[in-house]
Amino acid sequence: MPFLTPVGLRYIFVLVVGLVGSHAALAQRVEISGTLVSMIPPKSFTLSENFTGFKSKKYRNSTISVSRYPGSFQSMLQVFAEPVLESRGLVLRTRESMPVGSITGEFFRLLQISTNQPMHKWILIFGDHRETITVTAAFPDTVARELAPKLEQSLSTVLWDRFGERSIEDGLPYQLQTLPHFQYVKRIGNLVLYTRDGKLPIPQQFQPLFTVTIDDYPPFIEEQFEFARTQLALQTHFPRLEKFVTTGTKGISVDDYPAVEVTALATDIDTGKNLAVWYVLIYAKHQMFHVKGVCEPSDQRRCNDMFRLILSKFSVK
């Protein structure tokens, strides 16, 4: 072994300390249940019981949340166009590509100005033609100087097991007890689909269906009824719907959380057929739950009673 001079020893010491220090602020790799995503969070962050991701005891109002959405990665990027972000009170600071294992995602640094205290929202978005994943680090401006480098380092460790398998309810922040008249069909990201025979619906042979999707709770909602009606118009999957006409709106409670029930008529884009839509938006903890039932208008009253019975089995974990 060649002799090392004091200068050489100091160089190796600095190199080793630098390598160790680069991970000193991070904990061990953690798999986020139900998402097929894993990452190494900052040491002060632990798994949350209220949402899918991490929360910090040291840094107040600082979180890392992970969400899965049905739909292609490329189409989801349209949501991050500057005009769309600005309409939601978000200012785009920077955007850059970031590797996520063998694929490449997009990393957005956003500033939320619609709150009393400016909030940073750093969103790493990635996926494929089937689904999209977002990993969102949110933290107040008051801790940005200290926390931002740790979060950026943590986001760089994100991995996605895109071909992995999971159970139906794995990682879902809610549970449905026995579903009368309905069977599980498919889970795509945070969307779960149920039909009577447990098979994917065929447009030409329509049957009643029931879906549950999960979304982040927005920071500020002025009027829950109007917000629910707006959200209903965005529930265009399974089946593909358009031309919503609201027929009723009322406030209800689900698992002791406030909720809004909306009934409407809509048109099936694929068949042109009119369908009856029953929709409930549940405001729970840090997330919203979109619960939707669709059936033939002639069967609407019986179906809505059936959908309400299913909803009575719903509980937030």
Assign residue 141 the CATH number of its domain: 3.40.1000.10
Tell me, what amino acid is at 27? Answer: A
Return the percentage of the chain with pLDDT > 70, whole number: 84
Q: Are residues 200 and 272 in the same domain?
A: yes
pLDDT of residue 287: 82
Domain that holds residue 238: 174-316
Tokens of 146: 């200290």
In a domain, 62, yes or no: yes
Among 136, 160, 184, give the residue marking a domain's end: 160
Q: Are residues 45 and 112 in the same domain?
A: yes
Q: Are residues 146 and 42 in the same domain?
A: yes
Total of domains in the chain: 2
Give the pLDDT band (50/70/90) at residue 203: low
Q: Are residues 146 and 180 in the same domain?
A: no
Q: Are residues 312 and 181 in the same domain?
A: yes
Q: Are residues 186 and 311 in the same domain?
A: yes
Q: Are residues 54 and 133 in the same domain?
A: yes
Among 104, 127, 160, give the residue marking a domain's end: 160
Give the pLDDT band (50/70/90) at residue 317: confident
CA 38 to each of CA 111, 133, 294: distance values in angstroms, whole numbers, following the listed order: 25, 12, 35
Give the lowest-confidence range in 18-22, 187-191, 227-231, 239-243. Answer: 18-22
Q: Are residues 297 and 242 in the same domain?
A: yes
Give the pLDDT band (50/70/90) at residue 14: very low
Q: Are residues 193 and 226 in the same domain?
A: yes
Q: Which helix (H) or strand (E) holds 134?
A: strand 131-140
Task: Please indicate, yes or no, whether the overall pTM of this predicted structure exceeds 0.75.
Answer: no
Q: Are residues 153 and 193 in the same domain?
A: no
Q: Are residues 122 and 237 in the same domain?
A: no
pLDDT of residue 67: 83
Helix (H, G, I), strand (E, B) or coil at 3: coil
pLDDT of residue 106: 97
In a domain, 19, yes or no: no
In a domain, 1, yes or no: no
Q: Are residues 155 and 181 in the same domain?
A: no
Model confidence pLDDT, tens digit, residues 290-312: 999 999 999 999 999 989 988 99
- The CA angle 119-124-125, to the nearest 5 degrees, is 125
Return the percentage of the chain with pLDDT > 90, whole number: 43
Give the pLDDT band (50/70/90) at residue 134: very high
pLDDT of residue 188: 66
In a domain, 8, yes or no: no
Give the lowest-confidence range in 59-73, 140-154, 203-217. Answer: 203-217
* Selected residue with higher pLDDT from 290 and 206: 290
